[in-house]
Amino acid sequence: MNKVLRIDMENLSHKWENVKPEHQTYAGRAFTSITLSEEVDPTCHPLRAQNKIVVSPGLLAGTLAPSSGRMSVGAKSPLTGGIKEANAGGLTGTKLGSLGVRGIIIEGAPPDSEDWYSILVGKDKCEIIKTNDYAGLGLYELIGKIWKDYPTKPGIIGSGIAGQRLLKCAGVFGNNIENSDPGRYAGRGGLGAVFGSKRIVAIISDGTGGTRPAAKDQEKFDAARKVFVKSLNAHAVTGRLNDDKGEPFGGLKNYGTNVLLNILSEAGGLPTKGFSSGRFDKAAKISGEAVHDLVDRTKKKFGDKAEGKYAHSCHPGCVMACSNVVPYEDTGKMHVSPLEYESVWALGANLGISVLHDVAELNRLCNDLGLDTIEAGNTIAMFMEAGLIPYGDGPKSIELLKKAYDESSVEGKLVSSGTQTAGEALGVTRIPVVKGQALPAYDPRSIKGIGVTYATTPMGADHTAGYTVAAEILGIKGTVTDPRDLKKAELSQAFQATTAYIDSTGYCLFIAFCILDDDDGFNAMKDTVDSFLGQDIEVTSYGKDILRKEREFNKKAGFTEVDDRLPEFFRTEPLPPHNVVFDVPDEELDEVYKNM
Amino acid sequence: MLVNVKLYATLRKFAPDGVEIGEAFPIEIDKATIDGVLERLRIDKEQAKIIMVNGTRITRLDYALSPNDTIVIFPPVGGG
Ligand code: SF4
């Protein structure tokens, strides 16, 4: 039976509640967003006691459905001032799913507390523990320490140094399966700082005694998940590592998400050096292909001792396995895990840095400090834009980011405070944000549908909220829907609605590459959800319900149509090499939510 | 006719040995279309999902090429 754990940090108490009857179909993003919209005053200060953190494993987390163990974190965002959901893999989703925890709602804050706390969740139990010894640590050290203190290999999520200091670049970290890296981030929106505001370092989920969640129609569920696995394995994007001849086959397994770097650069859509060009002439050096080769090289050289990997899963049961472990060239030991497209872009191409080691080091520092890589990379770009560091200078960027450890360093605070804050403080006028959140790795001037998503999603600039790139650049299509025939507003709306549904199921968004291409895959995926719940869920209307609630929250928080716009320079500065501007009219942007 | 080709991801195996990632290599083709390039390199049409000529995406395999065009070919890829 599913339960909701409600924690009150003001008096350090907790209680278990039943899932409300009208919330029975909600999990993941549906659960976090609908709970926030019902329980949180949209005008509250995001870093004070009135805000709440909601954590919810996706609907199928803990089951045997493939790649279904994602977990959502939601709160009012200190970065955007609006509603936020960010999701990640790692261990916590699966553990909470198997413990029958539908959601954790954390409210209040300890009054005037100097103390730090962690929350231990287990089978029918919850403890709020004073853990001052966990605060202020680098996250590689912290996760190691927690696994020593709790030898049952728990899932861990929480805030690092940046979040504990209430800085807006802070993401919610998560440990990986091996507990070797805290890099499974629900990164965006500064949610790590909300943990800090509640004086929480970590939520530790101990799965001992957990069981696999049962489907209402188990037979149908099992049949459907098997069909779905087959479909994922057969697709050239999501599929198996090698083909029958032993040649590389699945794109994600071989090259990770960073397979995109070269294609976006070739297409002229890869934001380079602070969104001043769409092509990075050195993209190949830090691309997924380069990581693949580095892993193979170090394997050859160091044999069993080599720690580099591709086809690495971010959570138990992911069959697409887009994650990786990037090794040091000279020792073969792990440098960082994962190194994914968005991070390589934010900390590499966006800064003009083409030394793979430097990009990996910047990513490792972000993971250790508790920073969102996308926001941190864009923030460093503001220092470059202001002329404080030259574009392309890896060592100076590393030096700057290291200042974030030092509590007394103003530069360290600034680099952890987000793109808009840093840009404005440094006198920059080209600040790539929507609703205060920095743009990810697709330039909206050459890929206009994603620009519509950036502008209109309630999340602030976020590619995952409506990944039109799949249709616009990658040519993913199928007979279920052919999104390429649609106008950009309709295209973005369709992707935003489907995404809100997927973000609630626990499935990784990357299943979309397969299910949009393959009817059997789509139907099998939908069957797993329907048979699990014992009711027929209409994908788009389920998604739209969530979007409407999120939109309503933002409206009450003070957002208007004017907030659904890209920064001016995207409309006025042509982007080389195609010399295009963002020219989707405002009326079309407004249509995305007008017709919902 | 001489054109330049770049192959990425799982298609790199069709490039001559020693070609770096992102490096263009020249080929001589008899048939001045994308089809001609694919045949010459023995790349399956299914595999050539995304094709760009001089930076512009094209979808027609009978697209006519000019000397020294740069053709970039990707297999189906995705990420985020
Ligand atoms: S495809 Fe990648 S991001 Fe998605 S669940 Fe699997 S490893 Fe994680």
What is the pLDDT, as a whole number, of residue A480? 35
- So what's the ipTM on this one? 0.97
Q: In what order do the strands lie in the sheet with A53-57?
A: A13-18, A3-8, A101-107, A53-57, A71-76, A83-88
What is the pLDDT, as a whole number, of residue A481? 42
What is the pLDDT, as a whole number, of residue A489? 87
What is the pLDDT, as a whole number, of residue B56? 87
**Hey, whose CA ends up nearest to atom 2 of ligand 1?**
A322
Distance from CA of A575 to the nearest CA of B (A): 14
> Which of A235, A247, A257, A263 is the best mutation test for B, with the most CBs of B within 10 A?
A263
Which residues span the domain enclosing B43? Answer: 2-74
The helix or strand, by DSSP H or E, that contains position A421, with its residue range, turns out to be helix A419-425
Neighbours of A440 (CB within 10 A): 25
Nearest by CB to A251, from B22, B57, B76: name it. Answer: B76
Q: Give contacts of B54 with chain A, Cβ < 8 Å.
A: none
* Contact present, A56 and A505 (Cβ < 8 Å): no
* Contact present, A385 and A274 (Cβ < 8 Å): yes
Enumerate the β-bridge partners of residue A6: A15, A105
Neighbours of A155 (CB within 10 A): 28
What beta strand segments (E) does A89-187 contain? Answer: 101-107, 117-122, 125-130, 155-158, 173-174
C-alpha pair distances (Å), A33 with each of A82, A90, A475, A552, B5: 11, 21, 31, 11, 48
Per the CB < 8 Å rule, is A289 touching B8? yes
Residues A239 and A245: their CA atoms lie apart, in Å, by 15
The token pair that represents A93 in the structure block: 């989703």
User: What residue ranges define each of the domains in chain A, with the CATH number in brackets?
Assistant: 3-205 (3.60.9.10)
Q: How many domains, in total, are found in chain B?
A: 1
Distance from CA of A465 to the nearest CA of B (A): 11
Rounded to two decimals, what is the model's pTM? 0.97
* Contact present, A442 and A469 (Cβ < 8 Å): yes
Q: Give contacts of A476 with chain B, Cβ < 8 Å.
A: 76, 78
The token pair that represents B34 in the structure block: 């994308």
Q: Give contacts of A473 with chain B, Cβ < 8 Å.
A: 50, 57
What is the pLDDT, as a whole number, of residue B55? 87
Lining ligand 1 with CB less than 6 A are A 67, 89, 252, 313-315, 318, 320-323, 508, 510
The helix or strand, by DSSP H or E, that contains position A201, with its residue range, turns out to be strand A200-205
Q: Give contacts of B74 with chain A, Cβ < 8 Å.
A: 262-263, 266
pLDDT by 10s per residue, chain A, length 596: 699 999 999 999 999 999 999 999 999 999 999 999 999 999 999 999 999 999 999 999 999 999 999 999 999 999 999 999 999 999 999 999 999 999 999 999 999 889 999 999 999 999 999 999 999 999 999 999 999 999 999 999 999 999 999 999 999 999 999 999 999 999 999 999 999 999 999 999 999 999 999 999 999 999 999 999 999 999 999 999 999 999 999 999 999 999 999 999 999 999 999 999 999 999 999 999 999 999 999 999 999 999 999 999 999 999 999 999 999 999 999 999 999 999 999 999 999 999 999 999 999 999 999 999 999 999 999 999 999 999 999 999 999 999 999 999 999 999 999 999 999 999 999 999 999 999 999 999 999 999 999 999 999 999 999 998 888 888 775 433 444 556 788 889 999 999 999 999 999 999 999 998 899 999 999 999 999 999 999 999 999 999 999 999 999 999 999 999 999 999 999 999 999 999 999 999 999 999 78
- Cα B41 to ligand 1 centroid, rounded to whole Å: 33
Residues A346 and A418: their CA atoms lie apart, in Å, by 13
Q: Give contacts of A285 with chain B, Cβ < 8 Å.
A: 21-22
Res. B78: pLDDT tops 80: yes
The token pair that represents A150 in the structure block: 């709790």
Identify the burial level of A342 via C-beta atoms within 10 angstroms of its C-beta, where 0-12 means exposed, 13-18 middle and 19 or more buried.
Answer: buried
- Chain segment B11-64, per-residue pLDDT in tens: 999 999 999 999 999 999 999 999 999 999 999 998 999 999 998 888 899 999
Q: Give contacts of B6 with chain A, Cβ < 8 Å.
A: 266
- Chain segment A96-132, per-residue pLDDT in tens: 999 999 999 999 999 988 999 999 999 999 999 999 9
> Three-class SS of residue A514?
helix
Phi and psi torsions of A328, nearest 5°: -70, 135
Residues A121 and A131: their CA atoms lie apart, in Å, by 15
The alpha carbon of A210 is separated from its chain's Cα centroid by a whole number of angstroms, namely 26
Cis, peptide link before residue A576, omega less than 30° from 0: no
- Cα A128 to ligand 1 centroid, rounded to whole Å: 31
Nearest by CB to B22, from A255, A262, A464: name it. Answer: A262
> Three-class SS of residue A65?
coil
The token pair that represents A100 in the structure block: 């029958």
- Cα A567 to ligand 1 centroid, rounded to whole Å: 31
Neighbours of A88 (CB within 10 A): 23
Distance from CA of A433 to the nearest CA of B (A): 18
Chain B residue whose CA is closest to A285:
B21
Looking only at the bridges linking them, the beta strands covering A200-205 and A117-122 are parallel
Residue A180 makes CB contacts below 8 A (sequence gap 6+) with A325, A334, A337
The token pair that represents A102 in the structure block: 């539908």
The token pair that represents A513 in the structure block: 């590459």
Looking only at the bridges linking them, the beta strands covering B70-74 and B2-7 are parallel
Torsional sign, CA A455, A456, A461, A464:
negative
> Three-class SS of residue A178?
coil
* Contact present, A132 and A33 (Cβ < 8 Å): no
Per the CB < 8 Å rule, is B76 touching A290? no
Q: What is the 3-state secondary structure (H, E, C) of A229-282?
A: HHHHHHCCCCCCCECCCCCECCHHHHHCHHHHHHHHHHHCCCCECCCCECCCCC
Q: Which residues of A240-271 are buried (b: 16+ CB within 10 A; e: fewer)?
A: beeeeeeebbbbbbbbbbbbbbbbbbbbbbbb
* Contact present, A74 and A114 (Cβ < 8 Å): no
Pocket test for ligand 1, best of A94, A229, A313, A342 (most atoms within 8 A of CB): A313
Per the CB < 8 Å rule, is A251 touching B75? yes
Residue B79 lies in a domain: no
Q: Does B19 touch chain A (CB under 8 A)?
A: no
> Which of B10, B44, B73 is the best mutation test for A, with the most CBs of A within 10 A?
B10
Atom of ligand 1 nearest to the CA of A319: 6
Residue B80 lies in a domain: no
Query: Helix and strand tally (H, E) in chain B?
Result: 1, 5
Task: Quickly tell me which residue has 């990581």 as its tokens.
Answer: A291
Q: Does B52 touch chain A (CB under 8 A)?
A: yes
- Cα B64 to ligand 1 centroid, rounded to whole Å: 40
Nearest by CB to A464, from B8, B49, B80: name it. Answer: B80
Q: Does B54 touch chain A (CB under 8 A)?
A: no
Per the CB < 8 Å rule, is B10 touching A249? yes
Check which CATH number belongs to the domain holding B34 and give it: 3.10.20.30
Cα angle for residues A293, A296, A300 (degrees, 5° grid):
140
Query: Helix and strand tally (H, E) in chain A?
Result: 23, 16
Section B4-10 average pLDDT: 97
Torsional sign, CA A516, A519, A525, A527:
positive
Per the CB < 8 Å rule, is B50 touching A256? no
Residue B64 lies in a domain: yes
